[in-house]
Structure formats: C-alpha cells, structure tokens
Amino acid sequence: MMHADGQLPELALGTLAGAERSLVEEHLRSCARCRAELDAIREAVVAIGFGLTPVAPPPPLKARLLRAAQAPGRYAFVDLVTRVFELTRERAEQLLDSVVDPKAWVPGPLAGVELLHFDAGPGLAGADAGLVRFAPGTPFPRHTHLGREVMIVLEGSYTEGDDIRYGAGSRVENPAGSSHAFVCDAREGCLAGVVLFEGIDIEGYGSISVKKPGT
C-alpha cells in the first residue's frame, strides 16, 4: 500500500470495516504522512460539527427524549406496551407518565399491591387491562387463571419457585387453568402491565372476576 488517502475519510468516520480497515491501520503504524492526514480529517469533521446551526427537535420528540433520560427503565418498553395493549405510541407514553401520579393508583386485592386501570385497544374488549405495582418483597400467593393472562414486566422483577426469574422486558403468557405463585424483587419490587381475561382465583382469598361490559 503506497498511501491510504482514499480510505482515511471512512476510517475517520468509523465506517471502514473488515480486512480493509486492518490493512489501513497496519499502514498507519509506519506512515507518518497518513497519520498526519488522518488527524487533519478528524479535526475537519469536528469543525464541521461545531459549524452546524443547532436545530430544535419537535416538541413531542423533545419530550420523549427528556422522559427517557429521566426514567429510562419503563420507557424502554413503550413499543412493548403499544403492542400488548393495542395502544397508540402517544397513549402508551401518557400511560407510563401516569405511573408517578399517586392519584392514578387504587389499592389492590392484597397488601403491597396497587392497581392503575385503563382502557386497552378495541381488540381487547371484555378483558381487564391495567398496570400493577408490587412493593419490594411482596409475595403473591398461588392463584389459578380462569382465563388467559398476558403480563409484561416494566420495572423490577419477580421470581417463581426458586429460580425462574422474570425481569424488565419479559412478556409472560399464562393460559386458562394454569396456576402459580411468585415473589417480587426485595429491593425494587415490580411494575407490570397485565391483560386479564375472565379473572383469577387466589388460594385463601377467593375469585376476582373481570367485569364484563354492560354488567
């Protein structure tokens, strides 16, 4: 290789890859001229960046970026929330925003459990949709699913048995007739989204049925 003039711009931008990159990097070890040229290109790239006029992002994009920076946990799963609950992205973001509003929550059926109800998309008519917040270390006793349940973990985690752990980003489907018990993370607790069909029967507490439209 005589000189690497043609490859240096790509190397400076990080787009040169594979064997060609290896050859250029090997050449640079013994070529002071090309090293100086590479330094000059990198300085030019930085100067171009400083010379660009800043452009303010659209308000929705700015709000989304600020939310993600402030609380990246649950906002990392906006797309998962839109799919599971059949919501628009805007509605999913509003739902995740409401988590920090104490007035949005109501006591759940057991100690350490809070509920935030909302209307899911039309394809889930007749199901009960909501967010469920479990305090750290909360045990949820064994219960049987009277209908199908879909559960997504947005923050924290819970563990079934001794070693089956579901962390943030997990999507779990429990078919009708299945039963299980779990314990929430002792440090973070668990924030989950749930779509519940029919209801559940909790050992020692009785049945919790989903209210049907018009009833």
Residue bearing tokens 């009785």: 206
Is the domain of 83 the same as that of 168? yes
Whether 153 and 74 map to the same domain: the answer is yes
In a domain, 140, yes or no: yes
Asked whether residue 100 falls in the same domain as residue 204, the answer is yes
Q: Are 94 and 78 in a shared domain?
A: yes
At residue 1, the pLDDT reads: 52
Q: Considering the domain boundaries, does residue 214 fall inside one? A: no
Percent of residues, the chain, with pLDDT higher than 70: 87
Q: Is the pTM of this model over 0.85?
A: no
Q: What is the CATH number of the domain that holds 116?
A: 2.60.120.10
Given this model, what pLDDT does residue 211 score? 53
Position 76 in a domain: yes
Question: Is the domain of 26 the same as that of 89?
Answer: no
Q: Count of domains in the chain?
A: 2
Residue-level pLDDT at 181: 94
Residue 178 counted as domain residue: yes
47 and 64 share a domain? no
Q: Are residues 72 and 88 in the same domain?
A: yes
Write out residues in the chain with pLDDT < 70, as ranges. 1, 49-52, 54, 60-73, 209-215
Q: Is residue 100 part of a domain?
A: yes
**46 and 19, same domain (yes or no):** yes
Residue 67: predicted pLDDT: 56
> Do residues 42 and 88 share a domain?
no
pLDDT of residue 158: 95
Structural domain span for residue 45 = 8-51
Which pLDDT value is given to residue 180?
93
State whether 100 and 162 are in the same domain: yes
- Residue count of the chain: 215
Q: In terms of domains, do 109 and 18 share one? A: no
Residue 123 and residue 163 share a domain: yes
